[in-house]
Amino acid sequence: MTVRVETGARLHVGFGNLSLAHERLYGGVGLALEEPRVRLTAETAPEVRCADPVAAEYAAAACDLLDVAGIDLTVEATLPRHVGLGSGTQLALATLAAVARVHGREPVVRERAPALGRGGRSGVGVATFEAGGFVVDAGHPTERFTTAPPAEGDWTVPAAVVRHELPDEWRFVLAIPEATPGRSGDDEDESMRAVVEAADPSVADELATVLVRRLLPAAAEGRLEAFGDAVAAFGRLNGAWYADQQGGVYRPPAGRIIDALADRPAVRGVGQSSWGPTVYGVTDASMADRARDAAVDALSAADAEGTVRVVAPRNEGARVEDSAI
């Protein structure tokens, strides 16, 4: 049996709260994209065989979790690493799903994600892998995190408290500059600890207003302009927390790209995904070409090389299929 797993990227708009003064910490907001994608094929094997070193590490961990022998795993496509598109979580969970299906087991990704180092802060990556769409997660009890997160894997992935499908005609323009990758691993942990310790609790109150009064209604009703304006406001408020760690409300060169793209009529809701450097904007299929041209111009105006894509939202979870060899 050959197993195929396919899933898309995700955008991370921001967190609902980073202040220890409030009862719930984090609370991720984001959405699934059709592209770029992770695509894996897998067959049974007596040990782990995989040419991709990152996927091989996840495969070995998944085999241990499931208590199975091994897997022959081929990475046909993957996401660019550490650019704000959720590469680590999507590859880890896709690998877990492949190992499970090959061996006739259930992956139970939400329960097993922490053992793969995923879902420690945001639950957006796990939720979009499961079902796609626009999601908001519940965050974590603040008392469990204080100034440092729990030990590796010693957490529960936060539940998705909101999920909405986004209209099929919506598109997201991605401008991905060639820049230093966004933070990950120990560097990210240290930066997040510094942000949480210094976070102004009043920003969370402003974010709650944007989320409840603007973003959630726009997502539920499929109002593109209102949704775009709300995600831009949500991301900008988040950036105030990160300014000392990333060199501004947006990290360079994302801030220059956002400034150049924000006033283009084909694009609404410009922001930075996660630590960047990916910049996104909201548009629709009828304006896709104009939005692409606007993003190319914005990269040029920011004196940045990079790539531009216009992609659809993804309203379903990962596809896991098998066929006879």
Would the pLDDT of 183 be above 70?
Answer: no
Question: Is the entire prediction scored with pTM above 0.85?
Answer: yes
Q: What is the pLDDT of residue 148?
A: 63
Choice between 285 and 323, residue whose per-residue pLDDT is larger: 285
Q: Over range 143-157, report the average pLDDT.
A: 73
Identify which of 175, 230, 237 has the alpha carbon closest to the alpha carbon of residue 18: 237
105: tokens are 């087991």
Of all residues in the chain, the percent with pLDDT exceeding 70 is 95
Task: Tell me the pLDDT of the chain averaged across its residues.
Answer: 94
Which stretches of the chain are DSSP H helices? 53-66, 87-102, 109-112, 124-131, 185-198, 201-210, 216-221, 224-246, 254-261, 288-301
pLDDT, one tens digit per residue, over 282-304 is 999 999 999 999 999 999 999 99
User: Which residue has 């006033």 as its token pair?
Assistant: 263
Work out the average pLDDT over 106-125.
95
Sign of CA dihedral 278, 279, 282, 288: negative
- Read off the pLDDT band of 256 (50, 70, 90): very high
Listed range (47-51, 101-105, 206-210, 240-244) with the worst mean pLDDT = 240-244
| Residue 18 confidence (pLDDT) | 95
* Mean pLDDT in residue range 215-234: 98
What is the reported pLDDT for 153? 72
What's the average model confidence in pLDDT over 270-280?
95
Average pLDDT over residues 241-248: 88
Total residues belonging to the chain: 325
What is the predicted pLDDT for the residue at 151? 73
Task: Read off the pLDDT of each residue in 254-273 and give the average, rounded to a whole number.
Answer: 95
Query: Residue holding tokens 């695509």?
Result: 39
Domain span including residue 107: 2-323
Beta strands in the chain (DSSP E): 2-17, 24-44, 48-49, 71-77, 134-137, 140-141, 160-164, 170-177, 268-272, 279-284, 306-311, 319-323
- Strand locations in 78-145 (E): 134-137, 140-141
Rounded Cα gap, residues 58 and 297, in angstroms = 38
Per-residue model confidence (pLDDT) at position 192? 84
**Total tally of structural domains belonging to the chain:** 1
Which CATH number does the domain housing residue 141 bear?
A: 3.30.230.120
Rounded mean pLDDT, 58-71: 97
Quick one: what percent of the chain has pLDDT higher than 90? 85
Both tokens of 277, joined, read 């450097």
